């Protein structure tokens, strides 16, 4: 169970991060037509992500693999399009055919619904490979030193 800690921690942090995005952006900024303050909102949005990252690292301090994997999966989840998909899923709204605000994001292949979903699948695949490299591969491939029997 301990080796899954960074996975669960990043999933929980991403869910709360997305929920906060829905509540603050949609329920406050869009409802009250505060779109002119989008830059300030995005600065605060990033600061909340940095806060989640900091708390997670502090709680996992001493387990370097957990810290690295948690940070990587949290930031990949936030910027790969996964957070955007979760935004619509958690809000129970259909994912739009195009997500043009992701156009300048180098982690997104295409701003179409299929392109964003494809990017998310790709990056989750990369996180799985990274997890295997960090945790599983080393355990399976450790060279056992021969035991000398005199």
The total domain count for the chain is 1
HSE on the CB side for 95, CA within 13 Å? 18
Q: The whole model's pTM is what?
A: 0.84
- Residue 144 domain flag: no
Q: Which residue has the higher pLDDT, 31 or 122?
A: 122
Can you give the C-alpha Rg of the chain in angstroms?
A: 19
Helix-strand-coil percent breakdown of the chain, rounded to 5? 75, 0, 25
pLDDT score for 140: 56
pLDDT score for 141: 54
- Residue 90 domain flag: yes
- Residue 33 domain flag: yes
pLDDT score for 135: 87
The residue range of the domain holding 101 is 2-138
- Residue 143 domain flag: no
Q: Which residue has the higher pLDDT, 141 or 19?
A: 19
- What is the average pLDDT score of the chain? 88
Listed residue (126, 140, 139, 131) closest to 7, CA to CA: 131
* Tens of pLDDT, residues 83-119: 999 999 999 999 999 999 999 999 999 999 999 999 9
* Tens of pLDDT, residues 51-84: 999 999 999 999 999 999 999 999 999 999 999 9
Structure tokens belonging to residue 44: 């605060």
- Residue 149 domain flag: no
- Residue 107 domain flag: yes
- Residue 147 domain flag: no
- Residue 106 domain flag: yes
């Amino acid at each position: 169970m301990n080796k899954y800690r960074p996975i669960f921690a990043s999933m929980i942090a991403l869910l709360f991060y997305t929920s906060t995005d829905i509540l603050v952006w949609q329920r406050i900024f869009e409802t009250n037509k505060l779109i002119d303050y989008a830059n300030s909102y995005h600065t605060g949005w990033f600061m909340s992500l940095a806060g989640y990252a900091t708390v997670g690292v502090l709680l996992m301090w001493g387990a370097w693999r957990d810290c690295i994997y948690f940070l990587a999966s949290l930031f990949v989840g936030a910027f790969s399009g996964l957070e955007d998909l979760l935004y619509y899923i958690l809000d129970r709204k259909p994912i739009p055919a195009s997500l043009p605000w992701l156009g300048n994001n180098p982690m997104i292949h295409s701003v179409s619904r299929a392109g964003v979903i494809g990017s998310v699948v790709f990056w989750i695949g990369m996180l799985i490979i990274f997890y295997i490299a960090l945790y599983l591969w080393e355990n399976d491939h450790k060279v056992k030193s021969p035991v000398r029997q005199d």
